[in-house]
């Protein structure tokens, strides 16, 4: 039996006698058929130094034995587990919980004041279980809900690292109850944890890591334009306009709800900016309707989008030294349509000049009389052609490429003359 050197040694009425510990699900383990050893007044509490009942058990196979570290009175004051000293509601350190709920630790640090304070608090806890901390924990908190663990973390119950294996002197092999793994870096802040610092919520490296993670989480800052009172809601799925209105009306008076079924999104416009900010804060990255997580963003100001662009163009002065506009197209050598890039007024390059047309090649001698072929008349010689009946046809357009001349189609032209 442990005996304290303080006044609690002579006042056994303050000693704690319990039948079952206050534990979290992680420390209790995944084995439903667990066996515990109970030692009445077996150890002093590491916070209040009062003797209390110590429980010892193994949370599962290949796990280390665990025991209670603080008394139940200190556990109830902070609503924490007697072994790991993490919050029973969210599984977070006390420092993170108090920072989210804005609670201040009023537990005295000196021995005499601490004993007197704990005796009074124990008397109040016996009268009623409700207190300021219980009321605060019942209120939903967004930060705690995002950081809280959704499942037990049984990896925390693993055995410690075998110091003999680290030195290369462990001869147990697989029968060694400790872990044969490389230890963590001694300079890592997580390697230096103190049970009193965790209980009082100061200098806790685990809490500092979680608070940094919370600061790095995405946020939805309100826009600088105070006239914007519209929220964009995406990933609606089969939600209707009435479903959106029924949920968002609780944050303030709604002016209009515009649903875009093709894009699966909607725009909710509030009458006041305060209502829009409240809705964005309460629903960003945590709103689930109809089994779908909705996307919340701020809308854009459409009223000032048009007129705000025109004055900005006149505010800039022209840059000196820039070339002027290109001249309009005068010689359309490539038959470009109006609206293309204009070309300078200059003659075409020699490579684009069409060579003079020549007559068809001489026909090879045939054993029969070949059909009479009309005399070749170059297109460039005259602007009009004479038909077989003697009538003058319409003038043809200027030919720029030999492939555009119908008289140079070769066998196709000959075949056409034979059909005539």
Tell me the per-residue pLDDT of 302-313, one tens digit each, with 9 for 90 and over. Answer: 655 444 444 444
Q: Is a pLDDT exceeding 70 seen at residue 411?
A: no
Structure tokens of 232?
A: 């964009």
DSSP label of 179:
B
What would the pLDDT profile of 185-242 be if each residue is shown by its tens digit?
878 888 888 899 999 988 899 999 988 888 887 778 889 888 999 999 998 888 899 9
240 phi/psi in degrees, rounded to 5: -100, 170
Segment 255-268 mean pLDDT? 91
Residue of 403 and 71 predicted with greater confidence: 71
| DSSP H/E element including 195 | helix 195-200
Segment 232-253 mean pLDDT? 91
Q: Give dist(CA 420, CA 415) in Å, integer.
A: 9
Q: Is a pLDDT exceeding 80 seen at residue 406?
A: no
Residue of 122 and 332 predicted with greater confidence: 122
Q: Which of 215, 194, 216 is nearest to 93 (CA)?
A: 194
What would the pLDDT profile of 5-38 be if each residue is shown by its tens digit?
554 555 677 788 889 999 999 999 988 888 999 9
3 state DSSP class of 288: strand
pLDDT of residue 58: 94
Q: What pTM did the predictor assign?
A: 0.56
Q: Give dist(CA 229, CA 194) in Å, integer.
A: 48
Label the pairing between strands 254-260 and 288-289.
Answer: unpaired
Label the pairing between strands 51-57 and 288-289.
Answer: unpaired
**Predicted confidence band at 251 (pLDDT cuts at 50, 70, 90)?**
very high
Segment 250-262 mean pLDDT? 91
Q: Is a pLDDT exceeding 80 seen at residue 173?
A: yes
pLDDT of residue 284: 86
Q: Is a pLDDT exceeding 80 seen at residue 287?
A: yes
Domain borders along the chain are 7-175, 230-298
pLDDT of residue 330: 62
Establish how many alpha carbons lie within 13 A of residue 102's alpha carbon, considering only the half-sphere containing its beta carbon. Answer: 2
Q: Is a pLDDT exceeding 50 seen at residue 64?
A: yes
**Predicted confidence band at 48 (pLDDT cuts at 50, 70, 90)?**
confident
Tell me the CATH architecture of domain 230-298: 2-Layer Sandwich (3.30)
Q: Give dist(CA 59, CA 31) in Å, integer.
A: 7
Segment 247-254 mean pLDDT? 92
pLDDT of residue 390: 45
pLDDT of residue 315: 56
Average pLDDT, the chain: 78
Which alpha helices (H) appear in 46-105, and where do they start and end? 72-78, 94-101
Which alpha helices (H) appear in 42-154, and where do they start and end? 72-78, 94-101, 111-127, 132-138, 142-147
Q: Is a pLDDT exceeding 50 seen at residue 79?
A: yes
Least confident range from 118-122, 146-150, 267-271, 325-329: namely 325-329
Task: Give the rounded percent of residues in the chain with a pLDDT score beyond 70.
Answer: 67
The answer to whether residues 276 and 284 touch, using CB atoms and an 8 Å cutoff, is no
**Predicted confidence band at 271 (pLDDT cuts at 50, 70, 90)?**
very high
């Amino acid at each position: 039996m442990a005996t304290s050197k303080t006044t609690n040694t002579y006042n056994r009425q303050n000693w704690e006698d319990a039948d079952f510990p206050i534990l979290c699900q992680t420390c209790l383990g995944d084995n439903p058929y667990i066996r515990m050893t109970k030692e009445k007044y077996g150890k002093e509490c590491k916070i209040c130094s009062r003797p209390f009942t110590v429980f010892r058990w193994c949370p599962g196979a290949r796990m280390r034995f665990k025991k209670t570290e603080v008394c139940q009175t200190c556990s109830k004051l902070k609503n924490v587990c007697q072994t790991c000293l993490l919050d029973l509601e969210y599984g977070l350190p006390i420092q993170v919980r108090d920072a989210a709920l804005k609670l201040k630790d009023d537990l005295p640090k000196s021995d005499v004041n601490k004993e007197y304070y704990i005796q009074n608090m124990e008397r109040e806890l016996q009268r009623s279980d409700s207190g300021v901390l219980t009321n605060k924990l019942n209120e939903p908190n967004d930060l705690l809900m995002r950081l809280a663990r959704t499942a037990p973390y049984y990896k925390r119950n693993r055995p410690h690292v075998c110091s003999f294996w680290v030195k290369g002197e462990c001869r147990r092999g697989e029968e060694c109850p400790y872990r044969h793994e490389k230890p963590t870096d001694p300079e890592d802040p997580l390697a230096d944890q103190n049970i009193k610092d965790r209980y009082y919520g100061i200098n806790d490296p685990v809490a500092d890591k979680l608070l940094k993670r919370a600061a790095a989480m995405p946020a939805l800052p309100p826009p600088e334009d105070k006239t914007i009172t519209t929220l964009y809601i995406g990933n609606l799925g089969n939600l209707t306009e009435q479903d959106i209105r029924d949920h968002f009306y609780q944050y303030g008076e709604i002016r209009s709800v515009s649903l875009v079924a093709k894009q699966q999104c909607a725009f909710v416009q509030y009458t006041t900016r305060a209502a829009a900010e409240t809705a964005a804060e309460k629903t960003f990255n945590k709103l689930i309707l109809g089994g779908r997580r909705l996307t919340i963003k701020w809308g854009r100001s459409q009223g000032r989008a048009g007129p705000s662009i025109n004055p900005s163009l006149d505010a800039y002065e022209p840059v000196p030294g820039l070339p002027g506009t290109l001249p309009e197209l005068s010689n359309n050598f490539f038959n470009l349509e109006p609206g293309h890039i204009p070309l300078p007024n200059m003659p075409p390059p020699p490579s684009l000049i069409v060579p003079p047309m020549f007559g068809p090649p001489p026909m090879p001698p045939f054993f029969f009389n070949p059909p009479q072929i009309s005399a070749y008349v170059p297109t460039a010689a005259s602007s009009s052609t004479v038909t077989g009946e003697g009538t003058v046809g319409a003038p043809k357009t200027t030919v720029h490429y030999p492939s555009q001349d119908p008289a140079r189609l070769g066998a196709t032209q000959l075949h056409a003359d034979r059909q005539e």
